[in-house]
Amino acid sequence: MKTDSKAIFDVNEYDFQARVLDASAAKPVLVDFWADWCGPCHALAPHLYRAIEEHDGAVQLAKLEVDEGENMRLAGKYLVRGVPTVIAFWQGEEVVRFSSAKPMHWITEWIDEHLSEALLSS
């Protein structure tokens, strides 16, 4: 599930501050806490990608594999209790989250509902 584009990219404990918290000052950043062994994580990924693409760069998606390196510390810091968990950050703060696989239309509506102010500002 590795990817690297302007809107969808991998993050880890070392670049989380810059690529998520600092970057969320300009536009919302969703962080997908996932694991390679997690079936629902793999089911969610294409729906997340399409929802991000539908927002034409107004929202970014950072993928954080919880079992890789020291990334579990970040999952603990943000009280992630299961994967997949998606947390939306805006202005360096957590805004809202959801857990488990969801269909693309649900994710798009969730982004629009919870990040509408951020989307208008970015």
Running DSSP on this structure, what letter comes out for residue 58? S
Using DSSP, state whether 62 is helix, strand or coil: strand
Q: Which pLDDT belongs to residue 27? A: 95
For the whole model, what pTM was predicted? 0.93
Domain ranges of the chain: 8-114
Q: Which pLDDT belongs to residue 14? A: 96
Q: What is the pLDDT of residues 29-73, one digit of tens each?
A: 999 999 999 999 999 999 999 999 999 989 999 999 999 889 999
Q: Which pLDDT belongs to residue 104? A: 95
By annotation, the residues acting in catalysis are: 38, 41
**Fold of the domain built from segment(s) 8-114:** Glutaredoxin (3.40.30)
Q: Which pLDDT belongs to residue 1? A: 45
Cα gap 84→98, rounded to integer Å: 8
Q: Which pLDDT belongs to residue 122? A: 63
Q: What is the pLDDT of residues 77-116, one digit of tens each?
A: 999 999 999 999 999 999 999 999 999 999 999 999 999 8
What confidence category does residue 119 fall into, taking pLDDT thresholds of 50, 70 and 90? confident
What confidence category does residue 3 fall into, taking pLDDT thresholds of 50, 70 and 90? low
Cα diameter, the chain: 37
Burial 32-50 (b: 16+ CB within 10 A, else e): bbbbeebebbeebbebbbe
What confidence category does residue 2 fall into, taking pLDDT thresholds of 50, 70 and 90? very low
Cα gap 10→16, rounded to integer Å: 10
